[in-house]
Structure 1
Amino acid sequence: MPEHKNDSFRNMNIKEKMATILGIALLIILAVGFVFGLFFFGLAGIFELLDVRYESIWSLVVFVINFIILGIIVELFSKVIFKLSVRNITGKRKVILIRAIIEGTSNWLVLFTVDELMTSIALSLKTEIIIALLLTVIEIVFDGDDDKE
């Protein structure tokens, strides 16, 4: 029987399969680590600039992990709300304004929730709003493809 191109994985020996799986796992770990590092060092820098105190580096690690997990969940809902809100709206400025309002609110909600759940980090309302607005601006600037619709 002729060999198909799709059978290449089936024809690999066990070492080649393990190397492929380990390579993919390492790539995923590096990507997740990179995203975590961006958030960790970004929030550490913002906390330093805004004079936010935390008990230990581990409390900041837990804060960032909780922020990322809860942020992913809230992001799913905020994207749906955004898409439904701008479905019939024309005008790029209106779309960007609505996106900024929705994303800013969702970022603040995530920050507020994580802050309330943790006792080792205490953020003031002013600090939460500043960080949420900063994150919103960064998200809009680096994810400009949604505004081209």
Structure 2
Amino acid sequence: MPEHKNNTFREMNRKEKIAAILGISFLILLVTGFVLGLYFFGLAGIFGLLGVQYESIWSLIVFVVSFFILGVVVELFSNAIYRLSVRNITGKRKVFLIRICIDGTTNWLVLFTVDEFMKSITLPLKAEIIIAVLFAVLEIVFDDDKE
């Protein structure tokens, strides 16, 4: 009786391993590009509605990538603060208000920081606050946690 080969990672030859790694890398790159595209077009639309001026598309791309990278780092800390803050709180309204405050504040902090480092985009304080609150609401709406 012939042995059946299991298709495990150990039994793959070198070409199959490289193809698997490239495929997974391409998928990660595709998903990251999609998310950055959503951020790009979302911020471009919001900037258009709020009348925010920027020098070029490249400055907007740098802004979006910087906002995304810094936002991911800050999000780690804000999620920890949020979880610790609401651990003993009952009531959906209180939890929602705490979350909107934490997410809105951290989003504003990221927007403010990226805006201060970039000279090609100038966000007025009112636009920063509107965008921060909008992103906080969208994060809460699209969050997967059922609390």
TM-score interval, smaller chain: over 0.9
Verify: 1:56 aligned to 2:23, yes or no.
no
Verify: 1:15 aligned to 2:15, yes or no.
yes
User: What secondary structure sits across from 1:8 in the alignment?
Assistant: coil
Task: Please report how far the alpha carbon of residue 4 of structure 1 lies from its aligned counterpart in structure 2 after TM superposition.
Answer: 9.0
Q: Aligned letter for 1:135? A: F
Q: Which residue of 1 aligns with 2:42?
A: 42
Number of residue equivalences: 145
Q: Aligned letter for 1:47? A: F
Pairing 1:95-114 to 2, within 5 Å after superposition: 95-114=95-114
State TM-score, norm by structure 2: 0.93
State TM-score, norm by structure 1: 0.91
Counterparts of 1:81 and 1:15, CA distance in 2:
45
Q: Greater helix percent: which structure? A: 1
Task: Please report how far the alpha carbon of residue 3 of structure 1 lies from its aligned counterpart in structure 2 after TM superposition.
Answer: 8.6
Q: Name the Cα RMSD after superposition.
A: 1.7
Q: Which residue of 2 aligns with 1:142?
A: 142
- Deviation readout 1:85-116 (Å, 9 max, x if unpaired): 11110111110110000000000010011001
Counterparts of 1:19 and 1:4, CA distance in 2:
19
Verify: 1:24 aligned to 2:49, yes or no.
no
Counterparts of 2:108 and 2:5, CA distance in 1:
53
Compared CA separation, residues 144 and 20, structure 1 to 2 (3 A): closer
> Which segment drifts farther, 46-55 or 8-17?
8-17
Counterparts of 2:30 and 2:94, CA distance in 1:
37
Counterparts of 1:102 and 1:53, CA distance in 2:
28
Runs of 4+ in 1 over 4 A off after TM superposition: 2-5
Task: Please report how far the alpha carbon of residue 43 of structure 1 lies from its aligned counterpart in structure 2 after TM superposition.
Answer: 0.3
Q: Which residue of 2 aligns with 1:85?
A: 85
Q: Which residue of 1 aligns with 2:130?
A: 130
Percent of counterpart pairs with the same letter? Answer: 68
User: What secondary structure sits across from 2:10 in the alignment?
Assistant: coil
Counterparts of 1:126 and 1:141, CA distance in 2:
23
User: What secondary structure sits across from 1:89 in the alignment?
Assistant: coil
Unaligned runs of 5+ in 2: none
Q: Which residue of 2 aligns with 1:115?
A: 115
Compared CA separation, residues 144 and 28, structure 1 to 2 (3 A): closer
- Deviation readout 1:1-56 (Å, 9 max, x if unpaired): x9995x82222122211211111011010011011101011000100111111001
Verify: 1:73 aligned to 2:73, yes or no.
yes
